[in-house]
Chains A and B, each alone.
Chain A
């Protein structure tokens, strides 16, 4: 399939259009929240939250016997939030450090999630079919209504980021200084974590619990390579997230049997690779080039013996 055909499909094919739009929106939201996760050194928290969301998804289904994305999304969000609360209290009240607490919570919640999932799959209830797509995501199941709920919730999350722009910047850079000035740092922490939970929950249907953290980390890591201004990092991460979403949707629609979630994640990872290699100031290749030129310039100069070279 050639590029023109793909573009044609993107505009006129309902399914592809819906999938691409949904993936783009979730790419934007997770890209923006990922920047804060990265700057606060909480990138892996995203991984824990997304894995921990699985039992929430299955429980929401078991309780309501509905697979309406909004219902499952609320379940995912609550479980994700509970997981962060569990992690915080483990770190505060025991001597277990953050990385271990993270690993513990991730595996316990995910284990419970898998257990519940296999239980639900054995139910004599046909409605459970498709719950397992939340493991690796299935963007093709997105319908227009889902895109609207993703866009609505995502826009609300982004609005909060804009409103508390300077506060979030300050607590990400220097939390203690913020606290010394009387900023409600704990509240701001909680808001930012909640937004991250929302971003993750929004992406689960398309990308799945296993790969979702890549959608937080990859666009942010790629964006950081290109600029030193926070606003630009955020805007670039949003663009990279959108690009990965649309690109992944297009590629998977063109190939046979390429599932969308992993393709989106691979496109995002490709963006990271390109950024790591080629970004002008922080990229590896420009750095090698500078070093090479520098060495040659030195080699051309005779050793200075107090005389002008």
Chain B
């Protein structure tokens, strides 16, 4: 029985900001050891879904279970990579310090991060290829580097489930490769990753499962089953336009991929 418990089970989740529903009656199941993409147009409630799972927004209805138990009991098992635009990168601190923040929850009150935390942080920085940036002031990082610092911070949380909000946003092709390799390593280690993702072209290549969202859940399941043109049309409405139906990408150059990503992301949200 225990092996069949989902990493994340969301039931009847409804979130509203001032009467306007952002998520409506959403059910999602994420099995352990999978990479899941959360996909949908701007304003579909993708970020809100992650935040609701993390207990960061007030829910009007619904239930979230992490490995079969409420989130409040399972916090240590969940790592979080917020959108990198959500913080002020001019904050007076350096890369190593930000990564060590991932240990603060486990450290508890009054205890300072020490040698062990520093080693864990350096190890995580090495995994994301940022070791040489450890003492760099965070305002001097590029977008891709900021993203990798946040990934490293989540890695030191040593979680079993990772929730990532647009981990590929604004990173170059090389960094994107590095990040996806990292996610695959996490999966190989039995971890579960749920990531908000914008680039429809790369969904079949990068992810096992997909959640299609547009306030309501459109579909949720293995990419091969639910990542269909019809479901995409349902999620994106007419806005998908003449975009070609998604095919398994064959890695034919990241440049064209990035270009397509731009096209699909044109209706920019008001962030």
Shortest A297–chain B CB gap in Å is 21
Contact yes or no, A230 B93, CB < 8 A:
yes
**A44 within 8 Å of B (CB atoms):** no
**In the bound complex, CA of A176 to CA of B53 (Å):** 13
**B182 within 8 Å of A (CB atoms):** no
List the one stretch of A3-11, A162-170, A238-246 in contact with chain B. A162-170
Contact yes or no, A180 B56, CB < 8 A:
yes
Shortest B85–chain A CB gap in Å is 12
Give B116-157 as 1s and 0s: 1 = Cβ < 8 Å from A's Cβ atoms.
000000000000000000000101000000000000010001
List the one stretch of A49-57, A62-70, A119-127, A221-229 in contact with chain B. A221-229
Shortest A91–chain B CB gap in Å is 13
Contact yes or no, B93 A183, CB < 8 A:
no
User: Known interface pairs A163-B110, A172-B91, A173-B91. Does A181 touch B105 (Cβ–Cβ under 8 Å)?
Assistant: yes
Write out the residue numbers on chain A whose beta carbons fall within 8 Å of the beta carbon of B86. Answer: 174, 176
Q: Which of A173, A182, A227 contacts B87 (CB 8 A)?
A: A173
User: Known interface pairs A173-B91, A228-B92, A229-B94. Does A180 touch B80 (Cβ–Cβ under 8 Å)?
Assistant: yes
**A39 within 8 Å of B (CB atoms):** yes
Contact yes or no, A173 B101, CB < 8 A:
yes
**B213 within 8 Å of A (CB atoms):** no
**In the bound complex, CA of A250 to CA of B248 (Å):** 75
Write out the residue numbers on chain A whose beta carbons fall within 8 Å of the beta carbon of B113. Answer: 166
Q: In the complex, which residues 169-213 of chain B have their Cβ closer than 8 Å to any Cβ of chain A?
A: none
Q: Secondary structure of the A side of the interface?
A: helix
**B75 within 8 Å of A (CB atoms):** yes
Q: Which of B51, B105, B137, B139 contacts A182 (CB 8 A)?
A: B105
Write out the residue numbers on chain B whose beta carbons fall within 8 Å of the beta carbon of A167. Answer: 104, 109
Give A176-187 as 1s and 0s: 1 = Cβ < 8 Å from B's Cβ atoms.
111111110000
Write out the residue numbers on chain A whose beta carbons fall within 8 Å of the beta carbon of B104. Answer: 166-167, 170, 178, 181, 183
Shortest B16–chain A CB gap in Å is 15
**A202 within 8 Å of B (CB atoms):** no
**In the bound complex, CA of A177 to CA of B55 (Å):** 11
Most buried by B among A180, A227, A228, A229: A180
**B167 within 8 Å of A (CB atoms):** no
Write out the residue numbers on chain B whose beta carbons fall within 8 Å of the beta carbon of A268. Answer: none
Chain A interface residue count, CB cutoff 8 Å, equals 26
**In the bound complex, CA of A172 to CA of B104 (Å):** 14
Q: In the complex, which residues 73-122 of chain B have their Cβ closer than 8 Å to any Cβ of chain A?
A: 75-76, 78, 80, 82, 86-88, 91-94, 98, 101, 104-105, 107, 109-110, 112-113
**In the bound complex, CA of A165 to CA of B110 (Å):** 8
**B28 within 8 Å of A (CB atoms):** no
Residue of B nearest to A185 (CB): B56
**A233 within 8 Å of B (CB atoms):** yes
Contact yes or no, A174 B101, CB < 8 A:
yes
Shortest B15–chain A CB gap in Å is 15
Write out the residue numbers on chain B whose beta carbons fall within 8 Å of the beta carbon of A169. Answer: 93, 101
Contact yes or no, A39 B101, CB < 8 A:
no
Q: In the complex, which residues 255-270 of chain B have their Cβ closer than 8 Å to any Cβ of chain A?
A: none
**In the bound complex, CA of A233 to CA of B93 (Å):** 10
Shortest B150–chain A CB gap in Å is 9
Write out the residue numbers on chain A whose beta carbons fall within 8 Å of the beta carbon of B137. Answer: 228
Shortest A221–chain B CB gap in Å is 12
Contact yes or no, B88 A173, CB < 8 A:
yes
**B54 within 8 Å of A (CB atoms):** yes
Contact yes or no, B98 A173, CB < 8 A:
yes
Write out the residue numbers on chain B whose beta carbons fall within 8 Å of the beta carbon of A181. Answer: 75, 80, 104-105, 157
Q: Which of B87, B105, B109, B139 contacts A174 (CB 8 A)?
A: B87
Give the interface of B toward A (CB within 8 A). Answer: 51, 54-56, 72, 75-76, 78, 80, 82, 86-88, 91-94, 98, 101, 104-105, 107, 109-110, 112-113, 137, 139, 153, 157
4 nearest A-B pairs in the assembled complex, by CB-CB distance? A181-B105, A182-B75, A180-B80, A228-B137
20 further A-B pairs in the complex, CB-CB below 8 A; given A179-B55, A182-B75, A228-B137: A163-B110, A164-B109, A167-B104, A167-B109, A172-B91, A173-B87, A173-B93, A173-B98, A173-B101, A174-B87, A174-B101, A177-B80, A180-B55, A180-B56, A180-B75, A181-B80, A181-B104, A182-B76, A224-B92, A230-B93
The contact sample of 5 A-B pairs, CB cut-off 8 A, is A167-B109, A177-B153, A183-B105, A224-B92, A228-B94
